[in-house]
Amino acid sequence: MLRVARLVFLFVLLTTIAFFATAQTSNGANAPSPISSTPAAAAPTFDVNAAVEAYLAKMPPARRARSNAYFEGGYWLILWDFLSSVFVMWLLLRFGWSARMRELGERITRFRPLQTALYWIQFIVVTSLLTFPMTVYEGYFREHKYDLLNQTFGPWMRDQLIALAATAILGAILVIPLFGLVRWLGKSWWVWGAVLTIVFFAFVSLIEPVYLAPLFNKYTRLADARVKDPILSMARANGIPATDVYEFDASEQSNRVSANVGGFANTLRISLNDNLLKRCTLPEIETTMGHEMGHYVLNHEYKGLVMIGVVIVIGFAFLNWGINFALWRWGEGWGTRGITDVAVLPLAVIVLSLFFFATTPVTNSITRTMEFEADMYGLNAARQPDGEANVDMLLGEYRKLDPGPLEEFIFFDHPSGRTRITAAMRWKAEHPETASPEEVARVIFEAK
Ligand SMILES: [Zn+2]
């Protein structure tokens, strides 16, 4: 849940009036161009590599350096987050705070599940306070330093508290039955614990669009038929049973463009944020929605759950071994009573953090592969390769555009700008009838 929340990165304000002026002009450029009527002429002359380089060159060097610095700083944050979390958990164990939090729960009630819940609430509040310096640097000051956050401290803090409350409630729903399983099943607890955790993630992603996302942003029905109609038309053409499109006010937090097609049965929802509406042309919006529809049609939610599920099962086997080993080796002074004691939770967090820190390239590759599939789907559904390349450049505001292959493999949970634009231009080369030089000429970044 926290990981997912962190993935919902907050984004840049670079949109100057000049930018909007350019965006407006290029809207006009979406009218059929002379090339469209003579498709055969475009094919032999279109050079994919040159087109990719031309796109990448649109970002001025100073902006490129800034975007790279922001993104590469994120690599180090993976390490610092891991270390600071381990340090805080160690404090809880070493000084017996964890055992004392359990004792407080036991004094208040004799009902085991309620004791677990009381421990969990104390745990989440204390650890949030101790990691707050890191949270505020990472989520507030650093984002502002790179112009990626629109919020002042008050509203930002309000979002943090809402997230904390949601984590407290949802976490209790997971932790109570998890410790029940440990007590009930003994040695084989980790198998069913992993299954329970996977079911829990499925439940959270199911309720997320309708019950969690509106806690942070206001969702309204999109009225503008010029945008809504083509999106619903594309949805119908791709077998998505949606009758409405929702808009949400992400500009409250940032200028990042984003959209989503998700949920299940009556929680199915197509939504896009106001930044996408304000900053992008219709072809750019269409290719973005095509990508999101790709996630839905290709069942990425379920496939991701199965693949991440395998990682979780292995992680829980490691968790079971790690807890037992650490208790035997160092557990003497911690005041914990073995693996069935809820006071071992900080230790569980250390072991799982270690596991997910080490498997970062694996989990990133799982999502990056699905993102690339969604790109392919979006290109074929929306048929807007230049719109796609333009959006990829916009995402380059906070995601390094041109990393090395190993760097992309380890750190990227989405394909890099170069990878995505190369795919778009390759698609364009194979579909000469869609070529439109005016669209390519759109200015994406104004030098600051
Ligand atoms: Zn995606």
Give the phi and the psi of residue 271 in degrees, each rounded to 5.
-135, 150
Q: What is the pLDDT of residue 106?
A: 94
* pLDDT tens digits, 416-441: 999 999 999 999 999 987 666 555 55
pLDDT at 15: 26
Mean pLDDT, rounded, of the chain: 87
pLDDT beyond 60 at 308: yes
3-state secondary structure of 309: helix
CA 374 to ligand 1 centroid distance, Å = 6
Tens of pLDDT along 71-88? Answer: 999 999 999 999 999 999
Tell me how far the alpha carbon of residue 415 lies from the centroid of ligand 1, in angstroms.
Answer: 10
- Distance (angstroms) between ligand 1 centre and the Cα of 293 equals 9
- Residue 436: per-residue pLDDT: 61
Q: What is the pLDDT of residues 342-388, one digit of tens each?
A: 999 999 999 999 999 999 999 999 999 999 999 999 999 999 999 99
pLDDT digits (tens, 9 = 90+) for 221-244: 999 999 999 999 999 999 998 889
Average pLDDT over residues 282-299: 95
**Distance between Cα 368 and ligand 1 center (Å):** 9
Q: 111: which residues sit within 8 A by CB, 6+ positions away?
A: none
CA 177 – ligand 1 centroid, Å: 32
Which residue has 């690339």 as its token pair? 372
Distance 175 CA to ligand 1 centre (A): 30
pTM of the model: 0.83
pLDDT at residue 71 in the model: 95
In the predicted structure, residue 34 carries a pLDDT above the cut 70: no
DSSP state of 259: E
331: confidence class by pLDDT, cuts 50, 70, 90: confident
Tokens matching residue 366: 């799982």
169-177 long-range CB contacts below 8 Å, 24 or more apart?
Answer: 170/1, 170/204, 171/1, 171/120, 171/124, 172/116, 172/117, 172/120, 172/121, 173/200, 174/200, 175/116, 175/117, 175/120, 175/342, 175/345, 176/113, 176/116, 176/117, 176/120
44 has a pLDDT exceeding 90: no
Q: Rounded to the nearest whole angstrom, what is the distance from the C-alpha of residue 40 to the centroid of ligand 1?
A: 33
Query: Ligand 1: distance of its center to the CA of 306 in Å?
Result: 17
220 in helix, strand or coil?
A: strand
Which amino acid, residue 430?
E
The C-alpha atoms of residue 250 and residue 218 are separated, in whole angstroms, by 8
Span from the CA of 347 to the centroid of ligand 1 (angstroms): 34
Biggest alpha carbon–alpha carbon distance for the chain? 81
Q: How far is the CA of 273 from the centre of ligand 1 (A)?
A: 14
pLDDT confidence band for 16 (50 / 70 / 90):
very low
> What is the whole-number distance in angstroms between the Cα of residue 77 and the centre of ligand 1?
23
Q: Is the pLDDT of residue 1 over 60?
A: no
What spacing in Å lies between the alpha carbon of 252 and ligand 1's midpoint?
22
Ligand 1: centre distance to CA 292 (Å): 6
Spacing, Cα 373 to ligand 1 middle (Å): 9
**291 CA to centre of ligand 1 in angstroms:** 6
- Other CB atoms within 10 Å distance of the CB of residue 289: 27
